[in-house]
């Protein structure tokens, strides 16, 4: 498993544990994520977040997913009030040895 991408940024113990995000469009800006809403935009420090819990009503761009992957931030799509988990990534990425036969 030496080929798994390991981000070299903020250590996990120094990161925000989790952020719950509802309603808006999440996209990547130059150095952080931006959550665009009708009321304005919010800057989210991707490299300083461990997990982003995405509730219904959140649209995520490919660039935002890539930024989270590069920074080692896990994305989890959850139901309203975080009572269900619909989808989640794999922390650190998945090794390809199971795919290659």
Q: What is the pLDDT of residues 33-63, one digit of tens each?
A: 999 999 999 999 888 888 999 999 999 999 9
Comparing 100 with 48, the larger pLDDT belongs to 48
Other beta carbons within 10 angstroms of residue 35's beta carbon come to: 20
Residue 42's domain spans which residues? Answer: 24-84
Instruction: Please indicate, yes or no, if residue 7 is contained in any of the structural domains.
Output: no
Most confident of 1-10, 13-22, 37-46, 67-76: 37-46
Q: Is residue 54 part of a domain?
A: yes
Helices (H) and strands (E) in the chain, counts: 1, 8
* Within a domain: 18: no
pLDDT digits (tens, 9 = 90+) for 57-93: 999 999 999 998 888 888 999 998 888 988 887 665 5
Dihedrals phi, psi of 12, to nearest 5 degrees: -55, -40
Identify whether 14 is part of a domain.
no
Q: What is the pTM of this model?
A: 0.77
Residue 56 lies in a domain: yes
Q: How many structural domains compose the chain?
A: 1
11 in a structural domain: no
């Amino acid at each position: 498993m030496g080929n798994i991408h390991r981000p070299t940024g903020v250590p996990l113990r120094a990161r925000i544990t989790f952020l719950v995000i509802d309603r808006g469009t999440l996209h990547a800006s130059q150095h952080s994520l931006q959550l665009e809403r009708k009321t304005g935009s919010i800057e989210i420090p991707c490299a300083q977040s461990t997990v982003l819990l995405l509730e219904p009503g959140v649209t995520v761009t490919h660039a935002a997913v890539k930024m989270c992957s590069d920074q080692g931030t896990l994305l989890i799509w959850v139901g309203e009030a975080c009572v269900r988990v619909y989808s989640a990534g794999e922390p650190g990425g998945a090794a390809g040895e199971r795919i290659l036969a």
